Structure 1
Amino acid sequence: MTGDTLMHDGQLVLEDRLAVALISAALPETAGMPVRRLPSPGTVNALFRIGDSLVARFPLMPTPLAEVREEAERMAEFAEVSPVPAPRSVRVLDAGREYASAWMIAS
């Protein structure tokens, strides 16, 4: 199951089992943790909850590594000044053969 409705020309399709494999390869310590796709009305990212404290964000359009890294930096800046807990990037990953976009895991 993908859970993605194609809404954009060139949109990437992400099967749940591929997301789990990519997450496990990126953070081996998450092996065995439950991973579930989060339902979202958004059309830009597929989100996967990893255990209770992590989330993987996969852009549905090919996105360069530099853009995802910049977003991670902005998340860190926001977290520094936020009066409430805010997500922080745990890992930024480059596109690969399996998924043609950079993506991120955040806490």
Structure 2
Amino acid sequence: MSDRLIDTRALEAALAEFARERDWDRFHNPRNLLLALTGEVGELAEIFQWKTDAEAEGVMGTNEAEHVRQEVADVLLYLVRIAMVLGIDIDAAVRNKIAMNARKYPPLRDTGDQT
């Protein structure tokens, strides 16, 4: 079992092969990938645009659930691809960020107040 928090190696290999088979590596530079990622985040946001909080919280119980899953997948795929192109170890970056956030935002102290 891996001690990695996030193990994206298989996904990275699949994305690299997918891009290579289509000769897309020449287009997969940081700028293009970031623009594509931004577009996908926009498509995900569009699903939730103009919904009430209650509607947004219940979206996975609607006929839009599959669309949400697809857009979340697109966002993840582009994010992983950007990390690959920039040589970022996602696992190390996430571990470092969690540690930094833990220092920046320490746990709330238990005051004994149960309200």
Which protein, 1 or 2, shows the higher relative CO under an 8 Å CA cutoff with sep ≥ 6?
A: 2
Structure showing the higher strand proportion among its residues = 1
With normalisation by structure 2, the TM-score equals 0.25
